[in-house]
Amino acid sequence: MKTASLIPHDRARTSRRARFNPIRHLTPDTLTRMLDAFHAGELRQAALAWEAIEQRDDLVKAVATKRKKAVGRFGWQIETFDQSEEAARHAAALEFFYRQLTAAHACDLNESGGFSLLVRQMMDAVGKRYAVHEIVWQPIRVQDNAQTPGLPSTLLTAQFRFVPLWFMENRTGQLRFLESDTATEGRPLEREGWLVTTGDGLMEATAIAYLFKHLPLRDWLVYCERNGMPGVRGVTDAAPNTPEWEAAREAVRDFGAEFHALMSRGTQIEAIDLRGSGELPYPALVDRMDKAIATLWRGSSMGTVADSGAGISLQGKETALIEREDAEHIAGTLHTQIDRTVLRYLFNTNQPRARIVIRHKESGLSAEELDTAREIIGTAIPKVINQFVRRLLGKDKPSSPN
């Protein structure tokens, strides 16, 4: 079990120095090459482009951030498979593990947190297909285990270090760690030393929508620059290069228009109208791509829901379904790769009796909460019915107000 990081200390620094802007000259051809290389196992170029798009496009930044943070807000609990003492010990060990774990970023040393940050980092797989953490296991000696007899004296927790996807390659069908930015063959990931989360890979379709959004947006800006402000035309009877001519030219220039001209009376300039007739095509295409991006990440967009007349309830249902699936997937990944490893190390068993569960906001009450609710209802309802019957029979009269 790995108890020290295998990522070189200068790996992040050298990678940061070698960074470039992968979307500055993004075209359909370059994007196609990036996506083809990603499917061939060369993840670096596409991962860098997707990260830049996610950070710099306003809509992608908003919907991706909401999707990633949603699961971390739901909270978690440890559920047992039965009521045995062994299950109670497994639950206590997992409870200790998840409450003590820390999450960090391999490149941004300022980023650190606990379970919520770990989940948010794991949710990066929704966009980029994979999210990778290096696991640094941390055995901790516990002084008092009186509350749960049978627990070992040494329990386990870990630090999860989020590793950017451009540090990986996937040529063999299994992710491997690249020890430098120029490496082409990576080092296999040690079993039980890495947490690999998979996801839908929405950034592939999002990048295409981003490109076909920003190409017309760029043309729209050029159009506004050229046609958004009217020009100024001055006409004077003065002869060119005379003091009167120069004074008229200064007056025209002082209007501040980008396009201005001064001419003698009788000179005629015919304007070429580039605006055409009808509506411009740019706004509709930009809006269409924005709706596509919102639908990819959140299930539906406000525009499409409003157009259909379904109101916001449809969007809420779609979002709830997506969030519930995300919560179940993250919990399943942690149970498969983390819970089993922790319990195998502490109890030498391959049959877990407890697991982590991430509770969606619509998942309902836990078993303990249901028992408590039943007890409260069972105690309160007979008293209410008894009081109602006594009042109905006139045995108890309600007190009159003073």
The 10s digit of each residue's pLDDT in 74-97 is: 889 999 999 999 999 999 999 999
Torsion sign across C-alpha atoms 322, 326, 332, 335: negative
The pLDDT assigned to 308 comes to: 47
| Mean pLDDT computed over 325-353 | 95
CB 331 within 8 A of CB 358: yes
pLDDT digits (tens, 9 = 90+) for 364-393: 555 555 566 667 766 777 776 777 666 766
65 or 2, which is more confident? 65
Q: Is 30 exposed, middle or buried (0-12, 13-18, 19+ CB in 10 A)?
A: middle
CB 165 within 8 A of CB 133: no
| Mean pLDDT computed over 97-116 | 94
The pLDDT assigned to 97 comes to: 97
- How far is residue 38 CA from its own chain's centroid? 20
pLDDT digits (tens, 9 = 90+) for 11-62: 777 777 767 788 988 999 999 999 999 999 999 999 999 999 999 999 999 9
Q: Report the DSSP beta bridge partners of residue 372.
A: none
The pLDDT assigned to 241 comes to: 82
pLDDT-wise least confident of 156-160, 166-170, 263-267: 263-267
The pLDDT assigned to 17 comes to: 74
> Which residue in the block uniquely carries the two structure tokens 């797989």?
125
- CB under 8 Å to 24, separation ≥6 — which residues? none
The pLDDT assigned to 389 comes to: 63
Question: Which phi and psi angles does 305 have, rounded to 5°?
Answer: -70, -40
Confidence (pTM): 0.77
Q: Report the DSSP beta bridge partners of residue 177.
A: 168, 187
From residue 229, how far is each of 224, 226, 232, 258, 342 by CA, in Å? Answer: 8, 7, 10, 8, 67
Torsion sign across C-alpha atoms 317, 319, 325, 330: negative
Q: How confident is the model at residue 213 (pLDDT cuts 50, 70, 90)?
A: very high
Q: Residue 99 and residue 114: Cα distance in Å, rounded?
A: 8
From residue 343, how far is each of 108, 152, 304, 331, 336 by CA, in Å? Answer: 31, 11, 48, 16, 11
Residue 64 has pLDDT above 60, yes or no: yes
**Token code pair at residue 268:** 């005629």
> Which residue in the block uniquely carries the two structure tokens 């005629």?
268
Q: SS3 string of the chain?
A: CCCCCCCCCCHHHHHHHCCCCCCCCCCHHHHHHHHHHHHCCCCHHHHHHHHHHHHHCHHHHHHHHHHHHHHHCCCEEEEECCCCHHHHHHHHHHHHHHHHCEEEECCCCCCEECHHHHHHHHCCHHHHCEEEEEEEEEEEECCCCCCCCCCCCEEEEEEEEEECHHHEECCCCCCEECCCCCCCCCEECCCCCEEEEECCCCHHHHHHHHHHHHHHHHHHHHHHHHHCCCCEEEEECCCCCCHHHHHHHHHHHCCCCCCEEEEECCCCCCCCCCCCCCCCCHHHHHHHHHHHHHHHHHCCCHHHHHHHCCCCHHHHHHHHHHHHHHHHHHHHHHHHHHHHHHHHHHHCCCCCCEEEEECCCCCCCCHHHHHHHHHHHHHHHHHHHHHHHHHHCCCCCCCCCC
The pLDDT assigned to 266 comes to: 46
The pLDDT assigned to 236 comes to: 75
- Top mean-pLDDT range of 131-145, 303-317, 362-376, 385-399: 131-145
The pLDDT assigned to 305 comes to: 41
| Mean pLDDT computed over 237-246 | 80
Residue 269 has pLDDT above 50, yes or no: no
Question: Which phi and psi angles does 119 have, rounded to 5°?
Answer: -65, -45
Q: Is 175 exposed, middle or buried (0-12, 13-18, 19+ CB in 10 A)?
A: buried
The pLDDT assigned to 257 comes to: 54
The pLDDT assigned to 268 comes to: 46
Q: Residue 260 and residue 231: Cα distance in Å, rounded?
A: 5
The pLDDT assigned to 86 comes to: 93
Q: Residue 6 and residue 137: Cα distance in Å, rounded?
A: 12
How crowded is residue 246: how many other Cβ atoms within 10 Å of its Cβ?
A: 13
Residue 128 has pLDDT above 70, yes or no: yes
Strands 187-188 and 194-198: unpaired
| Mean pLDDT computed over 255-282 | 59
